[in-house]
Amino acid sequence: MLITVLEEIRLYHDRWEHVEIQATEYALRTLLKGRMPMLRSLSMDMEDDGSTRPRVDPLDFPRLRTVSLNWFQYPVDWLPWGQVTSLTIDDMSSVNYMPILRDAIHLVDLTFIDCRFSNAESPADIPLTRVTSLVMLASDVQIFGVISTPALQTLQISGEKLGNDPIGTLGRLISRSGFKLQRLLITGHRSPLATNRVFRTAFPTIPLITFNNSIRSD
């Protein structure tokens, strides 16, 4: 029955523009193949353990620009990353998402959600020269150590990930990449030392600093 349903869905693939898949490895292989001339955005959420790479046929998605990946336990090397401009990475480790970033040279919007980082698994510096918007929710700030985002204008980051020295941590991140932020949004809980006034005093060149969180009581 599953095979029949997937094959029926597949009949309309040339009309697909926005696809969200919560699927097993088998379903990915069945649905994603060949040419999809209208596909603009693709969101994939693995429902199995994600440890087995799907044997995906060569893909032709000429209009694909937006991709979201959740819980992939291997590098997704079968998508046309060079044309993607918006990417969301959810619950993945650096050994699996760094190869993607290396190929996604035209990214403009990048989001990390609950992503882990390991120095042992990470390559040399990855230049993401076109990224203007970066969101880091519950993700390790060490990611900044291997990506360079000189054009970054908007940064959203979890306050708890900035640690007990949020001003120093954020200052080092900004200094390393040399970006000139226009907007900074701090989310989640943050250190008692990181008051609104302290942030605005420390970073007077950032025109807009906003907070969507509460100060942690230690």
Position 50 pLDDT exceeds 60: no
pTM of the model: 0.89
Range 175-179 average pLDDT? 83
- List Cβ neighbours of 11 (8 Å cut-off, separation of 6 or more): none
**Degrees, nearest 5: CA angle 66-110-159:** 140
Boundaries of every domain in the chain: 2-103+112-119
Q: Note the pLDDT tens digit of each residue in 185-205.
A: 998 877 776 778 888 999 999
CB 35, CB 16: distance < 8 Å: no
Position 157 pLDDT exceeds 90: yes
Range 206-217 average pLDDT? 76
Q: Note the pLDDT tens digit of each residue in 86-144.
A: 999 999 989 889 999 999 999 999 999 999 888 765 556 899 999 999 999 989 988 98
Q: Note the pLDDT tens digit of each residue in 2-47.
A: 456 777 778 888 999 999 988 777 788 788 888 899 999 999 988 7
